[in-house]
Amino acid sequence: MFTQFVNLLAQSEGYDPSNGYFVRYIVAIVALLVAVVFGLWKDLPRFSITRTWAVSNVSFTEAIRKRVLWVTPLAIVAVIVVSQFQKPVDELDAIRQTTKFCLFATGMLVTLTAILLACTNLPKEIENRVIFTIVTKPTTRLEIIMGKVIGFARVSAAILLIMGVFTYSYLHLRSWTMQREIKQRLANDDGVEPGIRPTLEYYADGGLLSAKQFFTPVDLNFYSRIPQSDDAVKWTSGASEQSIAVPFEIPSDMLPADPEEAKQHPPLRLGFLIEVRRTSESATEDATAVPTTTPATRPVRIPYLPGMEPDAPPDARQPSIVVEIYDRDFFTIVTPQEINSGRPVDVQLGDRQLVVLDLPTAILPTLRKLAAPDRPARFHVNIRGAVPGYEYGVASDGIALGFANPNDPMGFSVPIPPAPAKADAQVAIFRGRPGTHGQQLRGDKPDVAPVAVYRFRNQQIDSTEGNVPVELRAYLERSGVDDADAEKLTDLHVEVVNRTDNTRSVPILLHPENGRTIYANLPAKAMAGGNFDLVFTVTSPGSWLTFTMNNLGLVQADRSFGLNLLKSLLILWLLTILVVTIAVFCSTFLSWPIAVVLTVLILLGHWGVVQLGDALTPGIGRQIVNDFRVQDAAQSEVLSRSVESLARALQAISSVLPDINQFAVTEDIERGVWIPGFAIYNALFVLVMFGLPLMLSAYVIFRYKEVAP
């Protein structure tokens, strides 16, 4: 049972064995041992559910008689008022925003109530000496601590129940009203634009409250053409529009720490087989046009390089590629200017050619900074065709990396194998251009337009009859080449390519609008066998459409919204139990105002450190020294070491603090997505791994506390 539980967690998202969980196991075991030694061996055999329940009853009754539940109508009024001021894109968005308000209000209310009740209870009972009459009964301190936690968990459950019933009723009322209005609009043809008619019909038929379970794609790739299943080489567009990224991992001990040491180190050698062919002219006409919106989420600097001048005719330019290095999240850490002396690498038009490039040794310390003591440096080598008018083809396994063999200009002394994120993912990731909301796909004429491909593998298709609904929330950007087209609808084609029998479904035409979810029905027959690709093509030249792994939903099943709400409330309840445990722990040795502050700090500590992100990576000390322009060597050393130590301490502390991201439920339920079972397991895991040691610690502290002031 326990093994199954751990295995399930290991398979679930959000569980990363290298992410401090090992430390938490150790902390939990140490807390248990300390508790056993300091009295648990004596008190556990005496543990009585009757006494614990009696203590919890009193805590529950106190909260109820102090009219804690009266705060729920306030929250309900707040939700209704705020709902009136929302500006939704459409009816579904209105429901989603209302769902978000309701859950946010519920979460805030229940968490704050839990913190205040649990932090104040024990200090006040000690202060007014009611505790005298409890501890002088045969009640163990373990029963008192557990009774308090259970009592406040019951109060939280009551609040969640009231807010849950309100949320369910209010959303159903709004949904029902809106659905009726949509049906009337459709029946009267009242201002229904052709582009949104399918969406409105979808709302009218399927309702606005949903809990959909989606098929999960293996990956998302962008190609200049739809790849055939037997294509070893896949093609990307030039003009830096698309690129090929291959993930690698190098242990930190294989990388030099400082630039001086790096000079003596063999360089990283990159070798790849590439094919180049000319794109038909129609494909290139908009390729270099600049979109009206800013494309990048981070300043990904695309250098001005010879051969990239947009004014030069395509034929006059030599095909070339540029190489850069991204971190695990695809942020640039080594720019093309730092590689090959800042020049693009020329390649020849034609079939496979081997390119070997030694990367400068100066980048090795930069790569080392990506590593942690328990984690190798993970990065992506990114290759993109720099010159428009060409397509660049690379086999998925056609890129190799290793430390250069000084005796062989083409060989490796230590080869480094690629490290795909998932076992079934492609080694090479074919990426679109980074945009504000994701990766962008350029629109072009139907025969030459590039494609975005979502790969689905080994999916369980229950029936090959009928249709499978697909949802897509895409962001639209126009290049502004032809203003007259601005009013036109953007044409997006979606088709299913079955990789089992290599058949293609008839493309379905959609008209996406910026930031709005659109719907289509795809033939289930085309997905038979469970191995298929969803291929999107924008056939409106000048339009760019943004895709991410999460903005597509291929509906596997439509489940009960009420049950989904119940699951989200259950996860919220687990969060409040954790909150109560932390609060009770803090209140065993602190006055209640300080206990409130410490509870909030413990609760948000891990999240806060995660938010600091790159600011705590190794090398921050040196960066601070540079930012403050400390000239003195001794001072800069002290400052650098202090900052590094502080960063390490913060990371160490955060690794044993609870990860409250595991309790995030709003996003899924707001998007109408079925909350997966592992979300509950993950929340439960955090609760057990953190709440249990904390409760045992609270017991030990309270057991040896003199309760008579």
Binding range to other proteins, per CB under 8 A, among 45-53, 288-296, 435-443, 455-463: 45-53
Closer to other proteins at the Cβ: 142 or 245? Answer: 142
Query: CB of residue 25 vs other proteins: minimum separation in angstroms?
Result: 31
Query: CB of residue 45 vs other proteins: minimum separation in angstroms?
Result: 10
Q: Is 43 in the site for other proteins (CB under 8 A)?
A: yes
3-state secondary structure of 704: coil
Query: CB of residue 130 vs other proteins: minimum separation in angstroms?
Result: 5
Hey, which residues between 342 and 371 contact other proteins (CB under 8 A)? none
Cβ atoms of 545 and 490 closer than 8 Å: yes
Binding range to other proteins, per CB under 8 A, among 109-117, 127-135, 257-265, 605-613: 127-135
Closer to other proteins at the Cβ: 140 or 636? Answer: 140
Closer to other proteins at the Cβ: 650 or 707? Answer: 707
Q: Is 682 in the site for other proteins (CB under 8 A)?
A: no
Phi, psi for residue 550 in degrees, rounded to 5: -100, -10
Strands (E), 405-551: 412-416, 429-431, 433-434, 439-442, 451-456, 467-478, 492-498, 508-510, 516-523, 532-538, 543-547
Q: Is 133 in the site for other proteins (CB under 8 A)?
A: yes
List, in order, residues 6 or more apart from 691 with CB less than 8 Å away. Answer: 577, 578, 581, 582, 658
Q: Is 137 in the site for other proteins (CB under 8 A)?
A: yes
Cβ atoms of 452 and 547 closer than 8 Å: yes
Within 10 A of 667 (CB to CB), how many other CB atoms are there? 12
User: What is the DSSP annotation of 517-540?
Assistant: EEEEEEEGGGGTTS-EEEEEEE-S
Query: CB of residue 264 vs other proteins: minimum separation in angstroms?
Result: 57
Binding range to other proteins, per CB under 8 A, among 22-30, 46-54, 402-410, 621-629: 46-54
Beta bridge partners of 278: 390
Query: CB of residue 702 vs other proteins: minimum separation in angstroms?
Result: 13
Cα R_g (the chain), whole angstroms:
30
Closer to other proteins at the Cβ: 67 or 422? Answer: 67
Q: Is 46 in the site for other proteins (CB under 8 A)?
A: yes
Closer to other proteins at the Cβ: 150 or 526? Answer: 150
How many helices (H) and strands (E) in the chain? Answer: 18, 23
Closer to other proteins at the Cβ: 137 or 641? Answer: 137
Binder among 190, 230, 627, 706 for other proteins (CB under 8 A):
706
Q: Which two tokens stand for residue 507?
A: 């493309």
- 3-state SS string over 238-260? CCCCCEEEEEEEECHHHCCCCHH
Query: CB of residue 162 vs other proteins: minimum separation in angstroms?
Result: 21
Closer to other proteins at the Cβ: 57 or 623? Answer: 57
Binding range to other proteins, per CB under 8 A, among 125-133, 260-268, 364-372, 567-575: 125-133
Query: Looking up tokens 């730092």, which residue turns up?
Result: 338
Hey, which residues between 577 and 636 contact other proteins (CB under 8 A)? none
Cβ atoms of 160 and 575 closer than 8 Å: no
Q: How far apart are the first and last CA of the chain?
A: 46
User: What is the DSSP annotation of 573-636?
Assistant: HHHHHHHHHHHHHHHTTS-HHHHHHHHHHHHHHHHHHHHHGGGGSTTHHHHHHHHTT---HHHH
Q: Is 158 in the site for other proteins (CB under 8 A)?
A: no
Binder among 30, 130, 410, 563 for other proteins (CB under 8 A):
130
Binding range to other proteins, per CB under 8 A, among 134-142, 455-463, 482-490, 530-538: 134-142
Query: CB of residue 67 vs other proteins: minimum separation in angstroms?
Result: 11
| H-run or E-run covering 552 | strand 552-559
Binder among 1, 85, 138, 487 for other proteins (CB under 8 A):
138
Closer to other proteins at the Cβ: 140 or 490? Answer: 140
Query: CB of residue 327 vs other proteins: minimum separation in angstroms?
Result: 50
Query: CB of residue 54 vs other proteins: minimum separation in angstroms?
Result: 4
Q: Binders of other proteins: how many residues, by CB under 8 A?
A: 31
Q: Which two tokens stand for residue 476?
A: 């639209």
141 vs 134: CA distance, rounded Å:
10
Query: Looking up tokens 């060989």, which residue turns up?
Result: 411
Query: CB of residue 44 vs other proteins: minimum separation in angstroms?
Result: 12
389 vs 349: CA distance, rounded Å:
11
Closer to other proteins at the Cβ: 36 or 58? Answer: 58
Closer to other proteins at the Cβ: 63 or 616? Answer: 63
Query: CB of residue 122 vs other proteins: minimum separation in angstroms?
Result: 14
Binder among 135, 395, 425, 688 for other proteins (CB under 8 A):
135
Query: CB of residue 132 vs other proteins: minimum separation in angstroms?
Result: 5
Which one-letter amino acid corresponds to residue 447? D
Cβ atoms of 544 and 222 closer than 8 Å: no
Interface mask toward other proteins for 47-86; x: CB under 8 A? -x-xx-xxx-xx--xx--xx--------------------
**Max CA pair span of the chain:** 94
Strand duo 451-456 + 532-538: pairing:
antiparallel
Closer to other proteins at the Cβ: 130 or 173? Answer: 130
Strands (E), 405-450: 412-416, 429-431, 433-434, 439-442
Q: Is 180 in the site for other proteins (CB under 8 A)?
A: no
Binder among 140, 179, 237, 498 for other proteins (CB under 8 A):
140
Query: CB of residue 129 vs other proteins: minimum separation in angstroms?
Result: 4
List, in order, residues 6 or more apart from 553 with CB less than 8 Å away. Answer: 212, 214, 470, 471, 472, 673
Binding site for other proteins (CB under 8 A): 43, 46, 48, 50-51, 53-55, 57-58, 61-62, 65-66, 128-140, 704, 706-708
